[in-house]
Chain A
Amino acid sequence: MLVIAMTIMAFTGCKSSTEPTVQQDDNKTKESTPVTDKKPEGSVPEEVTIAWLTFETPAFTPEMYNEIIKGFEAEHPHIKIERQVYPTGDRDKYANTLMATEQLPDVLLEGLTDLRKVEGALLPLSEDITNLLREDAVVKYGNQVLDVPLSRQIKKNIYYNKSIFEKYGLVPPNNWEEFVAICDTLKAKGEVPIIGGGPDKAWLTGALIESMLQVDMKAQVGNFGKAVKNKDITWTDPAVVEIYDRWKSLIDSGYYHEGSFSFTYAQHVDEFFKGSAAMICNGGWMAKQADGAEGIEFEIGWFPVPGKDETIYYTAADSNFLGINAKTKHPEESKALIKFMFENIEANRLFNGNDGSSSTTKEPIRYEMGPIQEEMFNKAGEYEVAFYPFSGEFAHPKGMQNVIRKMAQDIFLGEDVGEQLEKLQQEYSQLLK
């Protein structure tokens, strides 16, 4: 009986673990709109259904996707979208599982990090798609463009409590030295200079050092990811050690809130909104959050992460990549969906507006923003970009991001910077093999 039960469970388990969640679009309507594809005159294109794998967050809601799909299907009445949803957790791992079991959907939003490296997994995208994007947003792997980013996220800036700053006559710093002086003053006055977060999200603890590294290395070597991969610089280079040492000095000086390593993302933002600390390092998405937050008793300002010198860079990374399964039976329809996301202003606006990101289209697509976000986006255009090495030819190897972030946590907890960077260099060399 036990063997039979286990066999039944095994089959049931196998089936359910490989079937992605399918969400039907509740707003499907069939409209008699003119045929828009390029079939010979007089012929009605065959109705096809394509599967689109998406992810949901408080920003990317089912309602948002339904709106987008409704708009797409109105423009392409012969194409129906069957939306699927990543379960919570690692999207890359989920997409890998789908690939291994030959269940990849036609179009994927994110989850493409590993698929890019698998020959024949993703359909190369043609110029009619890549020409819709800004040049610096188009990344080639070998000679092919395998996916395109919908969004450019402003990465870390420092948000500050204007009331606390005004109380002590402080102004946003122009460089690192001024930033440390601000922290000194705040601590001397009994205020908590900075609040951080714990390992709830891998990047949270090292949010500031990640940006410091990109900003200062941009000034010194240009593309840091490229320099490290080409071995022009190593993780144990004095310039890199010096940056980490500066960050550690903030921790050793007691500038971080005592609960920093224990806070989740939501907690550390809440604590900042309550006035528990004067500054918080967070992404561009927090600008939207700050604009919309209720009950905050002070005004919030922001400034870019200060570098050693006075050159200002804004840190960014492209995200929300769209790619097509190379084995799709509907390549043209899949391409049509991707093109729609860039060409249709409303769809693009809806998507990026929800995330608080900027578009990657040749002509920027703007949306209604709150005052903090508006100021941030306007100012960002004035600065050069220091890209995070998350994608492209010089992206860090798989697993490296995780190692860097865990190392930041270890340094935060007191580990020696030099030793940790030595270990990091060894891991990096191993992962590159």
Chain B
Amino acid sequence: MSFTNSDGLTRDYDFIGIANYLRLFSDDKFINSIWVTTQFVVIVVIAVNVLGLFIAVMLKKASKANNIYRSIFFLPVVISQVAVAYIWKNIYAYDGLLDYILQFFGMMATRINWITDPKIALYSLCVAEIWRVLGYHMVLILAGLQTIPEELYEACDIDGGSRWDNFRHITLPLVIPGLSISMIMCTIGALKQYDMVRVLTDGGPVGATATIGYSIIDRAFNYGMMGYASSMAVVLFIIIGIITIIQNTYFNKKQVDY
């Protein structure tokens, strides 16, 4: 399909070789979408995993209260992406919940266009995405934390180690397997993101949130350029594959056994 000029509707298309792939290099919108996606992935992956690790460590001990907190953090995961996007769309709206709260506490002199200002729309999208997936990754990391033997922490305490020593020398190295899975899954999810973008910002304003996933669907179904969109999808597939291999290799090297 990516070697054709198919519109996805009719059987009337021709083989055009690598023309679609060559076109990608001169397509400003595609290049913009790569840059947007890169920023989105970096922000979301780092934030989700750092916060996820922090929350997982805090909620590691089994207790009634911790069980409740874990459920609260996991709740957004069970809501559909589209529903989450609509919730945040209302939060970010002009006179929406966020504006109301900030004005109530006197923290906002002028209105902020959370999803209609090209300079901040992407960050608003990132916040919504982080909120949506944090619980899931917290659970992944928590599962990794549960496999760390308690004796190691006891040994560290006996040797006079602080909580920071515990974290740096025991938790962090041994949670690598869980963390690596979390980071790989988070990266793949962020690279493919479409639903949140479509509902929250529709790729705008001024293409500020047009991720590769969004651009592929847009080209395929709004422009009837199925062949060209397929070439974009192939490129995305290759990018995901390369990043996954790099991440896997890196984390395998970092893995330790005590």
Contact = CB atoms under 8 A, between A and B. Distances in A.
Q: Is chain B a partner of chain A in the same complex?
A: yes
Interface of A: 90, 93, 96, 99-100, 114, 117-119, 198-199, 202, 258-259, 261-264, 267, 398-399, 402, 406, 409-410, 413, 415, 423, 431, 433
Interface of B: 5, 7-10, 12, 28, 93-95, 111, 113, 116, 118, 201-207, 221-225
B177 to A, nearest CB: 21
A58 B213 CA distance: 32
Given A258-B111, A261-B116, A262-B93, A409 B222 contact: no
A258 B205 CA distance: 16
Contacts of B94: 259, 262-263, 267
Contacts of A267: 94
A199 B10 contact: no
A119 B206 contact: no
Contacts of B8: 96
Given A199-B202, A410-B206, A413-B206, 8 more contacts: A117-B10, A118-B9, A199-B205, A202-B202, A262-B93, A398-B224, A413-B116, A423-B28
Contacts, number: 62
A410 B118 CA distance: 9
B258 to A, nearest CB: 33
Main secondary structure of the interface of B (DSSP, over half): loop
Given A119-B10, A263-B94, A413-B118, A90 B204 contact: no
B204 A409 contact: yes
Contacts of A410: 204-207
24 contacts: A96-B9, A99-B9, A100-B9, A117-B9, A198-B116, A199-B116, A199-B202, A199-B204, A199-B205, A258-B111, A259-B95, A259-B111, A261-B113, A261-B116, A262-B93, A262-B113, A398-B223, A398-B224, A399-B224, A399-B225, A410-B204, A410-B206, A410-B207, A413-B205
Given A267-B94, A402-B222, A413-B116, A114 B206 contact: no
A208 B139 CA distance: 50
Contacts of A90: 221
A115 B248 CA distance: 46
Given A262-B93, A267-B94, A413-B116, A114 B224 contact: yes
B105 to A, nearest CB: 21
A37 B51 CA distance: 72
